[in-house]
Structure 1
Amino acid sequence: MADAQNVADKKLNCPICLEIFKSPKVLPCFHTFCEKCICKHVSGLKKENIKSDTIACPVCKTPCPAPATYQTTDDWASKLSNNSILVAFVESEKLKNDDTIYCHPCLTEGKELHSVAYCATCTEHLCRDCYNCHTKFRATKDHTITKESMHESHILEISLDIYLCSVHQEKYAYFCSDHTEFCCSKCAIRHHRKCENLSSVEDLAKDLKYVQNAGQAVENLEALNKMFQKLLENRKNHLDSIDQQKTEIKSEINQWTSSLTDLIEKLGQASLAELELICKQEMVETSDKITECKSAIAAIEISQRILNVYEKSEDKTKFMITFNKVSAQLLKLLQKYDALENKSKEMIIAYQHNENFANVIKKLSSLGQVMTTVSRVPILNPVILFQEVFLMLPNVQPATGITFNAKIPSDDKSCNICSGVFLPDDRIVLCDTENKKLKLFDKYFNFVSDLTMQVSPRYICGVDQHTVAVTGGKTLNIFKVTKAFRHLTSIFPGSDCHGVTSYMQNIFVCISEGSIYTYDESYTLIKIIKLIHGFADTALCISPDGKYMHYTYENKIVTMDMEGKEINTSTISDLKESSGIAVDKGGLIYFCGKDSGNVILMTPEGRQLSVLLSSAHWINSPIGICLNNRLTTIVVFEDSSSEVTVFELS
């Protein structure tokens, strides 16, 4: 029970059963549940006759694919991805409280003999006698056996399934750069046979980029650990200060109430209750942040152990895969740190009594008022820069760019391509303001067709697989795109239309009066959101989970919720006159600076990661940017230019 309690203190409990995770499974929204718990949850929806192609995550309500009609809920739940890092962490926490590891074969006979070795082939711990037999028998003598420390061998055991395909339970054999994922031989044949960039894991393991970055990954994990440790210390200090402030104010209140009548004493008790409530709420919120810091630190430490184990191993393929997995986790932990630091506020509590209470005591409704002020936690000077970590992450670096000319024979003038959007099949639609045209190019950037408009198109977004929305003048036009453009409808908001984006087939368009108009899938106006700051030629995008809007304003990016409440406003020192904006499937924000001649990459919380593109990449005056649906290509549009620059991510 003590073991279970220690693990529970780390918040390693399932959100449904509130017990320690058992066979944790991950939904597409990245929330984790016990396999049996999520299975029961979906079975309950079926019993309630809730029929849908999706189910809502029990935590965040994000739509996730539901079991097919031919699937049982058990079969569906079993095929969800395993949360291997969480399994390793839970098991590691248990080991901290009990260093004893027993021989697996002997346990089946009811004997508890201490393990001295670990067989990675059989995934079993072995006592001395079993180890001797294992190394002598013909069937097992060639197995991979280690006599490393018990903690390390157990880490090897519980992390083995991160090297296996979750569908076929076979070892990863290939890495698809087009889809940025590992796959086994069966998946490669079934799902990646048409992919152009498929490499064997052996070839990828020889890539010097991964070898060179491996040591940096270990160092950055240690540095990130220190960052969370420092934030944890800061939050603990704040927790102590709350208790101290509470004690001081409580004493002051008691001094006043001790000399007053029963009525005043009752008023004092009311003030005490108010103080208790405020302190309790603040202490609970601060304690939650402390718990999140501890959880992140523990996750980092287990990643460090895994990397340290495989760094010494001769199996570079597993080391490479481990490094790739940990690197992807590193950015999520950085974003979590950024979010925690942004959310951390310090409450200062004070008490102000009524100096004239003696004259009006019978009219008083309270003895005094518990007051709070909130100040931002000072920046804790991170021991590593976010930019440094960004530069070592795979699949987010622009490789050498290429350009293609968007001018076509029917153009009367030079082009000015200001925005564009990728269709799901990798074709791209461009807005040419100078020639008042929409232009369609195939995935190899060969011209397909065009459409001349009455008003110059300015911004464009995809609505569904074959539909785009385009702003120009006082009009929002909707087109269906097949081999050519077919006009579906026009919407007239009454003012000039600028930035446009969509989510779940709802269309959001910035209007020059300083508002965002929202239209549903039938193109009916359903909501008007007032912009927080004054209006400019605003570009707009929505986070992949549909919770937040980001729009440009001078050299700032403003983030607000879908009701228009400001969440964050970030000023970018490296950027002048913002223009285009885009967001990728991971929530990272790409932000163009026309006058500064660069493209900035930012976290969803508004922290600058890197100057992604600049004059070093032939970028001079970017006014627009778009990403393809798989995030393998970035396209940048230059002011008053026919040339469009394309970057493949490395």
Structure 2
Amino acid sequence: MSSTSVLPCDTCKYRKNENPAVHWCSECEEGLCADCYTHHTHSKTSRKHGIITIDDYEKLPAFIREKRHYCNEHDEKYEYFCSVHNTPCCKISSDTEHKNCKGLSLISDIVHGVKQSVVFLEMHSMIENIKQNMDTILKDKEINLKTIHESKIKFQSEIKEIREKLTNLFDTLERKLLEELESVEKKIIQQSEDFINEVTDGKNKVMKIQENIDAIKKHATDFQAFVGMNDLKDEVENRKQYLQIVYEDSRLDRINIRCNINEKIKLFLTDVQTFGEIEGERSSAKDLFSVNTHEIKETHDKSKASESKPSKTRSDPAAKAKVKRTLIVPAGSNKNTITSCAVLPNGKFAFVDGTYNHRIVIMDSTGTSSGEISLSPLFAFDVTCIDSKTIAITTGSSGQIAFANILSKKIKKSIGTTWQCDGITHVDGKLIFSVYSKGIHVLHLDSGHISTIHKANITVDTYVTSLGDKIYHTNWKTNSVTCFNLDGNTLWTYEDDKVLQKPRGIAVDSKQNVYVASLGTESIVVISSNGKEGRQLLTKKDGIENVRAIYYDNNNNCLLVSTLSGSAFLFEL
């Protein structure tokens, strides 16, 4: 009812008078003016009726005002409530359509004290609790928006600071290189000028001898020419010897200046495509809620748990893992960046350290280094075994797949992929590898033909692995692992950012359980073979910190894991 409408007094209206109602009798369902209200409260039949002011009446929700005390069909007051049909009924209805209903109760008994009933009080408490939660949510969101703005300001400052540091660094490097260029030029000019002066002096002496010879020929007597010939011969011989010395002098070489720009700077210019990445980071806000539904939730959770609890089967992932061996990858000339690892057919371990050191480190089962395979100047990202002698290595932004002999530790050949390639795995004579922004590609080793088998928006640092006809790949931007078949059809995708964040290295055991290096949670996550369940198998307390490299050895049921700096662990499952 609109607050601007005027409710008439129904008693006066019946007597053809028009007076506004100031009270409302819920029992009679009529409006009452001041005079009729006085009469109504003094009448024996209505003095006990529940009367409220019109203002209070209009505060009632519309659906409550529509709840009548009288039967629309018989114009009789409701006296009973039928629990079978969940409806009130009058005396006539109780004797007719509800006469066979066994759930009839007197309304006066049912409604007595209803506002103080447990259900009503719980409902009131619940809605108050919900309101408080809504207030908390709104307040938290307000704080969250403020935090987002503060983070933006902070990161703007950090980005600007990094930019200034880069500018200062490149300015300093440029200044040093230009100073070196100036210094080298001066040195070369000085050396050249000294040499030129020396040769010029020698030339003048030669010209003087030449003038003497011409003068003797023209003006000296034969006797003078004969006697002076020996002196001239000595001077000519001296000049000849001097010329021989000049021929052998390194200063005779033509000199030019060469500038070798640091390869890392060139790679920086080509490899760095973004200044960084901005992404939203979620964290649960469920701890804000305090809805008092403990018993209902507990019952629901117990029911849900009993329905979803899987039965223990032979394909369940290992419950525990223990360290079988610890390895330390030898330091390179630059800092180690271990991005991949593998257990070779001969039982040795291979670690990819290709960002700064451009190498594959081979170690035996005792943890002793067995040599290195150099890929310089190419980068190295991931490795997979082809046979007992050959491994294939992706080179990241170098855009090639290199093939190396394990025994000779030499690169045999490389094949261009035309784009950045990262993760790689070997399946029955085929190399499956990820290509940035293009998808998952396959290289047929017999023909050298490359094709796409799974089109997807692949990010950099995407790892792949395989088992049988199933291929698995990570996506650190979507915090997901996807399984698909050799036809490129997706079988399942696992996502749960409470368990898995920024996934990198990936491996699979013979039972199709998938192991993933979760960089964001600093853990090793194991995902069930159907992709429906995941949990953290190893955590930071197990040494899992900044891990990208992971490999499952199905022959020995062992999991090889390495940190970025080169601390490696062989876990027995």
TM band (smaller chain):
0.3 to 0.5
- When Rg is computed on C-alpha atoms for both structures, the one with the higher figure is 2
TM-score by length of 2: 0.43
Which structure exhibits the higher relative contact order, with contacts defined as CA atoms closer than 8 Å and separated by 6 or more residues?
1
